[in-house]
Amino acid sequence: MSRAKWVKIYRMNFISSFCHYLRLGVLGLALVLASLVTANALTNVDDVRIGVSNERTRLVLDLSSRVDFDVFLLENPRRIVVDLPNLQWPDNLQPKPQGVIGGLRFGQFTADKSRLVLDLKQPATVSKNFILGKTSGLPVRLVIDLVAATPAQFTEQVTADRQRNRQKTASAPAPVAKPILQTPKPKKRKAKPVIVIDPGHGGVDPGALGRKAREKNVTLSFARQFAKQLRNTGRYEVYLTRNLDIYIPLRQRVAIARKHNADLFVSIHADAIERSSVRGMSIYTLSETASDKEAAALARKENRSDIIAGIDFDDQPKEVADILIDLAQRETKNLSVQFANLVVDHARGSTKLLDRTHRFAGFRVLKAPDVPSVLIELGFLTNRSDEKQLLSSAWHKKLAGRLVKSVDSYFSKERLVGIVQ
């Protein structure tokens, strides 16, 4: 065989082998990517149904795949909580409550957990809960059967569930963490003032509902715009309590502000009221005595956020009592009032303001003893004009700009001397 012919055959064999291994490599990569996509794919909730048969109320979730779940009862008020892994919840699924179920909510609870909360009309317990696999064209189904119970039976089950949850917590590896809520310490001088923005509600807690908007989405959108404009000045260090559609307990929002040694905490909300003619922005600072009946009612509603999300208050740390004692810190309250007045001054003329724009009430999310804090209600989702504004990115940008001016005024040289020490 001539050298030229041998070289030609060698090249052909080499190219053939190369193409073969290249195809194998591409196929292998495709399989790896497919497995990763499958592993990271969220289970979908395709339907939620409630039915009543005899004395049994049945809740059924249609799922795209099998999941692990945990069910437990809570009281004050009476609720049944179902914890699940991350699920894709559809926005338009809202089954009509029936039987012992008076209402239900579902959504993201933590970074790796979804939560379904059932409000009960009367004491009830879970008689059965199980998963049915795909059969005869039917999807995977999570089934929970509820039956009426006496108050004593309900309380007995709550106690048993609480003990079971504590045992699971005790058996898990203990996190290495220092208590965040502690006695206020003198603030150290920082290069930039720290501002924590708190988008209200989130995840399993939708907040107020309008014709088109949900409060949790409005607050997150506005908070992001406000944070962006603050960061663009280069003058502030800015954090959000949440940057996803996820639920953060009220006390944890306070803890986040204290963890970052915040100089200012701004909680963003949007209100709802039966009188659809009421509209306008308002701002609230902490007071154990509400400025009026409307402020007191709003504080009660906002303070129910943890109940809506299925928080067990019996297991909350006891240092909250110390926080309430520390609320007497006059300086923090006075600084909160100063900032609230600046917000009203700068917002006037740029958006509709509620009468008596600055009000006072006992909001739990404002109870950091050493962080000046305000709660801003951007407007009313139950008013069509306000809701239109609250859904407008241009309006978000405009009002956020006014709030930045308020922050700039607050952290002027004269104020900065007394705040960042």
Q: Mind listing the domains of the chain with CATH numbers?
A: 43-164 (2.60.40.3500), 194-419 (3.40.630.40)
Cα–Cα distance for residue pair 352/399, rounded to 1 Å:
11
What confidence tier does 357 reach under pLDDT thresholds 50, 70, 90?
very high
Strands (E), 200-275: 237-240, 264-271
Least confident of 34-38, 184-188, 227-231: 34-38
Percentage of the chain lying above the pLDDT 70 cut: 74
Cα–Cα distance for residue pair 262/184, rounded to 1 Å:
12
- Widest distance between CA atoms in the chain: 104
Residue of 215, 134, 266, 244 whose CA lies nearest to 390:
215
- Supply the pLDDT for residue 179: 43
The per-residue pLDDT for range 278-291, each reduced to its tens digit, is: 999 999 998 877 76
- Supply the pLDDT for residue 415: 54
Cα–Cα distance for residue pair 220/244, rounded to 1 Å:
8
- Supply the pLDDT for residue 170: 72
Percentage of the chain lying above the pLDDT 90 cut: 49
* DSSP code per residue over 3-56: HHHHHHHHHHHHHHHHHHHHHHHHHHHHHHHHHHHHHHPPEEEEEEEEEEETTE
What's the start-to-end Cα distance of the chain, in Å? 90
Question: Which residue matches tokens 């005024």?
Answer: 409
Residue 261: is its pLDDT beyond 90?
yes
Residue 129: is its pLDDT beyond 90?
yes
Cα–Cα distance for residue pair 349/358, rounded to 1 Å:
16
What confidence tier does 176 reach under pLDDT thresholds 50, 70, 90?
very low
Q: What is the mean pLDDT of residues 100-116?
A: 87
Mean pLDDT across the chain, nearest whole number?
81
pLDDT higher at 12 or 126 = 126
pLDDT higher at 256 or 312 = 256
- Supply the pLDDT for residue 278: 93
What confidence tier does 312 reach under pLDDT thresholds 50, 70, 90?
low
- Supply the pLDDT for residue 39: 43
Residue 155: is its pLDDT beyond 60?
yes
- Supply the pLDDT for residue 25: 54
Cα Rg of the chain (Å, integer): 27
Question: Which residue matches tokens 């004491």?
Answer: 123
Least confident of 71-75, 231-235, 416-420: 416-420
